[in-house]
Chain A
């Protein structure tokens, strides 16, 4: 028998028992689909993380205060950022950030509320948020507490439409401020929409917008950008000792946390890892169950075709010929399941993306891997029924009704 003839015969058998074939291969279908989906989800998560790293800014060091004791002075302050910028070597910039509750912004008779961020001149560099038009505020602006403002692209669009906003006077809360620049569109990073907020000098925020004197000088986060991945560790060490000195605490018992993006991303990775592990188990169990299904149906097939086997042996088929025939049929059955599973996996990955449940990226080699897995299942679970067929007693087989 040539390969093509065996494939043709097996295919005919499959079509003859459509429902049976489908149910038999359902396990393989689910297993193969799970393999493809699992790898697509992993790749999607990696792509999302890579995007986030780029969006946050490369080689970013994130400094936050541990929760301060009420009534005591805040633990992370603007002066810390100045000190870090001055003392730490191997960093290209330091940006301090303090959020402000939504403020009313008004130009002419257009007005709405917008989030605002008080920050320092290195913000565009450190957070990789480039400027669109105009300029960002300088250290001089901070030192003189100049009432200047930089707008997000969406705020600009909503407030000015097609008018050039630079040098226009607007009202933020009750403070009259001059627009000096507009940020380039950046979109959302994590939960923050960079385009739908305004940026003001940190010192202006303290002077004009903070009622609570206790909060004065306080910053939520200080970001520092290392010059390169290599200077990262040394920069972190310096940051810690500078801050410990500033705060009068020991390194063993600090009142601040220094993190990198990796630390933060690891948490997210853990979530996708859990999902991936789950899918890997689904794939493994499905392939096992699918394999047993194929073994079962092949045993049925061997029994149904006992007489055929007897005839084949009587005209000169060797045991290995019979074994090969049934093994091939099992493999074709599971490859058929593999093929349907591939379609289901690719479709599932597409659907996940489409409904926005999870980002997926189809990895070409995963299709090959899943297909190979289905072939292995066919060979492994087809071997026993095929050997049973090959070892049939020809006389018994010929007598079989």
Chain B
């Protein structure tokens, strides 16, 4: 279901050679008084198109801050971030909104569906905020229904979030993240609020999407969840302490930097 139709012209000639994410010397420093807090401390990282990356670490390790910067929700104090070859730090408010809208899909721990809207309306929201390539109301609905069907919720279109289980809500959130066909999916503790069975379902969906070509970056502190990813990055005190390509199901095969 992934398509390249919305890719930027910059990376058109050699889409595969340009990493989807490149960060260099990224720092986020909070001025808390006596000692400045370095939530991110000179992080450099490349993520190639099609990767499934898990970022692990304890709370305060900087993984969420990194996630927010990658999602263009937070601005780094120092350093550079290129998404598909474009420097995000040089974008204005409108371009950032468009970036979040069409090139990044977000999945949150607490689902973050709008409670007053139905599943279908929730999924349609990102298309509504689309500025370029606007489509008709019928096409929006078709695309949103297709997205919900792809996560197995074709029969829950008109349910509100409080009428759905946690796993179903997270699947609605995934459908919402996918509906504008982004090249990057950011998942912040996607299974943190779910039981093990629902967690397994969500991870299966994410793996299926990854196999279809969607690049996924996932923050988690559960190592068994992280094992679904092809690459595991460990963070501590705002720094990357390990970055390894893991074979699925084998926790010990890591490459330490």
Contacts and interface: CB of A to CB of B under 8 A. Distances in A.
Contacts of A310: 112
A311 B126 contact: no
Interface in A302-327: 307-308, 310-319, 321
Contact of B97 (A1, A9, A316): A316
A314 B129 contact: no
B102 A311 contact: no
Interface string B70-83: 01011000000000
Most buried by A among B102, B114, B176: B114
B68 A312 contact: no
Interface in A1-33: 1-2, 5, 9, 12
Contact of A9 (B108, B112, B113, B116): B116
A318 B93 contact: yes
Contact of B112 (A12, A318, A398): A398
A314 B125 contact: no
Contacts of B129: 1, 312, 315-318, 321
Contact of A319 (B93, B113, B116, B130): B93
B101 A316 contact: yes
Given A394-B73, A395-B73, A395-B74, A315 B125 contact: yes
B128 interface: yes
Most buried by B among A310, A316, A318, A398: A316
B74 A316 contact: no
A328 to B, nearest CB: 14
Interface string A222-254: 000000000000000000000000000000000
Contacts, number: 62
A313 B100 contact: yes
A315 B106 contact: yes
Given A1-B128, A312-B125, A315-B129, A307 B97 contact: no
B113 to A, nearest CB: 8
Nearest to B117: A9
Contacts of A395: 68, 73-74
A395 B121 CA distance: 23
B98 interface: yes
A12 B112 CA distance: 20
B98 A316 contact: yes
B112 A311 contact: yes
B70 to A, nearest CB: 12
B66 to A, nearest CB: 13
A12 B116 contact: yes
Contact of B94 (A5, A318, A398): A318
A318 B68 CA distance: 17
Contacts of A1: 125, 128-129
A317 B102 CA distance: 11
Given A1-B128, A311-B112, A316 B100 contact: yes
B176 A315 contact: yes
Most buried by A among B98, B112, B130: B112
Interface string B167-191: 0000000001100100000000000
Interface string B54-97: 00000000000000100101100000000000000000011001
Given A312-B125, A394-B73, A317 B97 contact: yes
17 contacts: A1-B125, A1-B129, A9-B116, A12-B116, A311-B112, A311-B113, A311-B114, A314-B71, A314-B73, A314-B106, A315-B126, A316-B100, A316-B102, A319-B97, A395-B74, A398-B73, A398-B112
Enumerate the 9 nearest inter-chain pairs by beta-carbon distance, A residue then B residue, closest first. Answer: A316-B101, A318-B97, A316-B129, A315-B126, A311-B112, A316-B100, A394-B73, A317-B129, A314-B106
Given A315-B125, A318-B93, 10 more contacts: A2-B128, A5-B128, A9-B116, A310-B112, A311-B114, A312-B129, A313-B73, A314-B73, A314-B100, A316-B180
Interface of A: 1-2, 5, 9, 12, 307-308, 310-319, 321, 394-395, 398
Interface of B: 68, 71, 73-74, 93-94, 97-98, 100-102, 106, 108, 112-114, 116, 121, 125-126, 128-131, 137, 176-177, 180
